[in-house]
Amino acid sequence: MLGYTASKRNITMFKKLLSWKTRVVDTVKMSLKSLALIWWTSPKLTILMLLTLVISSSLTAISAWLLKRLVNDVVVIVKTGNPLDNTTIVLGISCILCNILPFILEPGTGAIRSTLSDLLIADIDKKVMKQASKLTGLAYFDKSQFYDRLRFLQGNTTLPESTIWLLSSTLSNGITLISLLSLTIVISPFIPFAMVLVALPHLCAEYRHHKHAYDTTWDQMPESRQLGYFHGLLFNIKSVREIKLFNVGAHFINRYRELFDTVFKRVLSVKTSHTKSTVLFTLLHGVGLTLLYIYVVLISLQGKITVGDVAMYFSIVAGLQRTFWSLTQKAGQLMGSSIDFHTFWSFFELTPTLKTAASPQEFSHINRAVEFRNVSFRYPGSEETIFSNISFSINAGETLAIVGENGAGKTTLVKLLCRFYDPTAGQIFIDNIALHQYRLGSLRQKIAPVFQDFSHFFLTAGENIGIGDVEQVNNEPAVIQAAAQGQADTVISQLSDGYETLLGRHFDGGTDLSGGEWQKIAISRAFMRDAKILILDEPTAALDAESEHALFQRFKILTEGVTTLLISHRFSTVRMADRILVIDKGKILEEGTHEQLINKSGKYATLYGIQSEKYQS
């Protein structure tokens, strides 16, 4: 029983130690990372910043030491009646300079600081964008935690900057404290220890407060996020229409208020207990310091220290107390922000999830076929198997249509072919070479996609099309040709500034397009590419059946010889394909030409029958 209690206590103590240790280690790591960040931003300014930091934080101690020497000299002069010597004059001038120097340094340090801040914030933004594009697959983009991180990151781009300033305050306080404490050794070796001892309870209380405050913040993170959600709802274009129609604005404001009240109560209790402990420990600290004052006066009366020593001691005690206080606060805040920094930094530690070949080869064209061999797939983090063990192929230059109900997995096949994900099992081959053996960039460059949910870029019409082949984005004839092929030319000719018209209402002066017009822009974007694989994933859902049919006929002529994967719900379009694949519940149900499948009288024939009846009636 006794052993059990003892070991339980050990575990609790170990946990405490571990969490404290982890915090210290985390803080040190964070500090080093922040320093590295600022160093890469500007090595010169970083050195300047560190230099001014060391100088300004040692000035208090230097000036106190000069004061001691000066007072002692003056005492000797008064006692002996000797004239002022040069040393005393230099001491006096130095003393004055030490007191003026901080004011002279101030504007310089301010300028360095704000320049470094601006540079650092811009650097972080660039780093975030780079990291997001480095993640070549979509695995992370499917996870809500990823967006949580991203949101956190966007709300905290100034975190490294504020960490740097916390760190520099901590360092500067540390330097001041050590230099002042070492001065007091001269008076009596007992004083620095006594000073630390007197400050210790206060330090511990402050540390406990910061721990408590950050634990509370951490515990309340879900509520804080919910607060942000309610706040954002009323401004979100996606939710604002329903909120107005259902008249639920006041309801959400109430939800916000209720939630805020609970959050605020906890924050207030932390603050109140902090105020109480601050008053108590400041008082204790004050009593301790008064006792030390008395001790110093006593030993000076005994002649153990000089008048200069006493003057020096009196001049630094207030500074020492302030520095102790500030150091605890800053170090506490620094340790606390290491939690946030951890979340911040974890974004940069995400590594691409796609397989890479040791020596990937360039993809240029398809000689024989694209083959899905025994492919199984489950989305990362999901339990649901979308495909298990499916095999099919698309021959070079062929158009393969995929038919299946909503959610059958058609788009997922497209995503696998674009290598947004790797199959969970099995592989996709092009000309007998596994997809991941090709350099990803070269493969994607040869794929022209028109996705079901294509993007509306808030750029000019010309750029919207041109980025289909980003190197040709300024090649006007190429853009005009692609626009003609995708029939966006007629849309653009009606815009006020033609190809220079800014699209979308996101920015001032932008022109919005209809769903069908945006589609033509997206299709033209695909035509910018010298593609070997064309992907059409229900790109014409906004068009009527007749226009879709006409468009696909154009596609067929314009993309002669390009291997095409076509997804459509319209059988008038689907029947134009060379071959058709019917998928259902992750399996291939039927495969063949339109005629073969009709003759088979299976699922395809039934669906085709239903749709043609509908058109005839």
Ligand X SMILES: Nc1ncnc2c1ncn2[C@@H]1O[C@H](COP(=O)(O)OP(=O)(O)O)[C@@H](O)[C@H]1O
List of residues contacting ligand X (CB under 6 A) = 142, 379, 382, 386, 404, 406-412
Find the shortest distance in angstroms from Cβ 372 to ligand X. Answer: 14
For Mg ion, the closer of residues 10 and 452 by Cβ is: 452
Kindly give the pairing relationship between strand 533-537 and strand 587-592.
Answer: unpaired
For ligand X, the closer of residues 462 and 586 by Cβ is: 586
Sequence-distant (6+) residues with CB within 8 A of 345 are: 30, 33
408 binds, among Mg ion, ligand X, none (CB under 5 to 8 A by kind): ligand X
Find the shortest distance in angstroms from Cβ 414 to ligand X. Answer: 8
Find the shortest distance in angstroms from Cβ 588 to Mg ion. Answer: 17
Sequence-distant (6+) residues with CB within 8 A of 321 are: 199, 285, 289
For Mg ion, the closer of residues 410 and 594 by Cβ is: 410
For Mg ion, the closer of residues 379 and 429 by Cβ is: 379
Find the shortest distance in angstroms from Cβ 539 to ligand X. Answer: 13
| 399 within 8 A of 556, measured Cβ to Cβ | yes
Find the shortest distance in angstroms from Cβ 37 to ligand X. Answer: 33
Exposure on the CB side of residue 210, measured as CA atoms within 13 A? 20
The C-alpha angle 129, 131, 137, rounded to 5 degrees, equals 110
The values of phi and psi at residue 86, to 5°, are: -60, -40
For ligand X, the closer of residues 338 and 519 by Cβ is: 519
Find the shortest distance in angstroms from Cβ 276 to ligand X. Answer: 51
Find the shortest distance in angstroms from Cβ 407 to ligand X. Answer: 4
The DSSP output letter for 85 is P
| Identity of residue 72 | N
Give the H or E element holding residue 271. Answer: helix 249-301
Nearest to 522 by CA among 468, 444, 559, 445: 468
Output 171-174 pairs: Cβ under 8 A, ≥24 positions apart.
Answer: 171/53, 171/57, 172/53, 172/56, 172/57, 173/57, 173/323, 173/326, 173/327, 173/330, 174/57, 174/327
For ligand X, the closer of residues 135 and 396 by Cβ is: 135
386 binds, among Mg ion, ligand X, none (CB under 5 to 8 A by kind): ligand X
Instruction: Report the distance separating Cα 49 and Cα 110, nearest Å.
Output: 10
For ligand X, the closer of residues 386 and 534 by Cβ is: 386
547 binds, among Mg ion, ligand X, none (CB under 5 to 8 A by kind): none
288 binds, among Mg ion, ligand X, none (CB under 5 to 8 A by kind): none
Nearest to 523 by CA among 544, 545, 541: 541
Q: Residue numbers of the site for Mg ion (CB under 5 A)? A: 410-411, 452
Nearest to 313 by CA among 187, 136, 228: 187
337 binds, among Mg ion, ligand X, none (CB under 5 to 8 A by kind): none
573 binds, among ligand X, Mg ion, none (CB under 5 to 8 A by kind): none
Find the shortest distance in angstroms from Cβ 17 to ligand X. Answer: 42
For ligand X, the closer of residues 351 and 406 by Cβ is: 406
The radius of gyration of the chain's CA atoms, rounded to the nearest angstrom, is: 36
332 binds, among ligand X, Mg ion, none (CB under 5 to 8 A by kind): none
Cβ neighbour number for residue 189 with a 10 Å cutoff: 9
142 binds, among ligand X, Mg ion, none (CB under 5 to 8 A by kind): ligand X
Helix, strand, coil content of the chain in percent (nearest 5): 70, 10, 20
26 binds, among Mg ion, ligand X, none (CB under 5 to 8 A by kind): none
The DSSP output letter for 83 is P
For ligand X, the closer of residues 247 and 406 by Cβ is: 406
For ligand X, the closer of residues 53 and 565 by Cβ is: 565
Find the shortest distance in angstroms from Cβ 537 to Mg ion. Answer: 6
207 binds, among Mg ion, ligand X, none (CB under 5 to 8 A by kind): none
Sequence-distant (6+) residues with CB within 8 A of 402 are: 410, 413, 565, 566, 567, 580, 581, 583
For ligand X, the closer of residues 160 and 404 by Cβ is: 404
| 151 within 8 A of 157, measured Cβ to Cβ | no
Find the shortest distance in angstroms from Cβ 411 to ligand X. Answer: 3
Find the shortest distance in angstroms from Cβ 406 to ligand X. Answer: 4
Instruction: Report the distance separating Cα 327 and Cα 317, nearest Å.
Output: 15
